[in-house]
């Protein structure tokens, strides 16, 4: 049995398509077909059933898929173990939300390179959680709970929430002192995949408010708040660092959320990963 055959089979099975799986595995379609056929001969059974809508796993293929995934995890661990563990050098990939990525840059994360010139940082900003077990990133800064027991988790802080508005908006429209005084004010709220956040639901449901903007980009939301478009609910730690923002009042109805720094044990011992993780923790915990 050839590992490359297993790797290509896994890519095709995950994609549900021979051509898409071939591209993911870095081979052409005919090579992928030969690789899968070679694995089927080695196993003595059909693994993939081809149809008009692509490919699907046979019953034997279903059973083999779990083992192939474990082999893939082992290969990933092998590649990680081959990296230089002692020197602060090489690529460290940090996955977080778009707004947290911008926050870390603004607060000096890239200053690390002055002390460690061989360190390369990659910030993966987005709302979709990455799979650390499959080496999609080395570190992740998350506000969602982590359920994978194989991951290493550090709880950095708990995020409490408050209403903020730009100083220009407060001068022009007044400064509401509690939720009852929000009536008649314009608000900017998370939208799209972020619409179910407690702060989005709370602010949009206040009596008499007018929603001026909904956005799945927290960076755009903070920019709109700073430009005087309307009132926003932000974590205290972020809002206090916005030069154009003025804190209006605390929103105790929104539960405080932990902020987690997550890594995979296979990479957590790398010096470069430890340095980046410690810098992220220091920035997040730093008083505004």
Domain assignment present for residue 271? The answer is yes
Q: When comparing pLDDT for 50 and 272, which is higher?
A: 272
Give the count of alpha carbons within 13 A of 163, CB side only. 25
CA distance 280 to 288: 15
My answer on whether 246 and 174 are in the same domain is: yes
Tell me which H or E stretch contains 275: helix 271-285
Rg of the chain (C-alpha set): 24
Domain of residue 46, residue span? 3-81
pLDDT in tens, 100-122: 898 899 899 999 988 899 999 99
My answer on whether 191 and 75 are in the same domain is: no
Domain assignment present for residue 243? The answer is yes
The rounded mean pLDDT for the chain is 88
Domain assignment present for residue 255? The answer is no
Burial of 133 by CB count in 10 Å (0-12 exposed, 13-18 middle, 19+ buried)? middle
My answer on whether 149 and 192 are in the same domain is: no
Question: How much is the pTM?
Answer: 0.63
Domain assignment present for residue 112? The answer is yes
């Amino acid at each position: 049995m050839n590992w490359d055959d297993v790797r290509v089979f896994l890519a095709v099975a995950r994609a549900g398509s021979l051509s898409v799986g071939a591209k993911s595995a870095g081979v052409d379609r005919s090579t992928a077909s030969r690789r899968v056929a070679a694995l089927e001969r080695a196993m003595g059974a059909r693994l993939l059933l081809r149809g008009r809508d692509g490919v699907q796993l046979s019953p034997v293929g279903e059973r083999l898929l779990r083992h192939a995934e474990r082999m893939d995890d082992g290969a990933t661990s092998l590649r990680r173990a081959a990296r230089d563990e002692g020197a602060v050098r090489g690529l460290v990939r940090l996955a977080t939300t778009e707004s947290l990525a911008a926050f870390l840059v603004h607060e000096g994360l890239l200053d690390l390179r002055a002390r460690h010139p061989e360190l390369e940082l990659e910030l993966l900003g987005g709302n979709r959680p990455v799979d650390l077990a499959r080496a999609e990133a080395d570190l992740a800064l998350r506000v969602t709970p982590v359920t994978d027991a194989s991951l290493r988790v550090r709880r950095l802080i708990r995020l409490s929430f408050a209403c903020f508005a730009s100083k220009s908006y407060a001068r022009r429209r007044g400064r509401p002192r509690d939720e009852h005084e929000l009536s008649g004010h314009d608000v900017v709220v998370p939208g799209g995949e972020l619409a179910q956040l407690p702060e989005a639901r709370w602010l949009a449901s206040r009596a008499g408010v007018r929603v001026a903007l909904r956005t799945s980009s927290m960076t755009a939301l903070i920019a709109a708040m700073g430009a005087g478009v309307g009132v926003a609910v932000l974590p205290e730690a972020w809002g206090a660092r916005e030069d154009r923002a003025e804190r209006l009042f605390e929103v105790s109805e929104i539960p405080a959320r932990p902020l987690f720094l997550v890594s995979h044990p296979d990479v957590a011992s790398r010096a470069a990963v430890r340095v980046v993780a410690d810098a992220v923790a220091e920035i997040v915990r730093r008083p505004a």
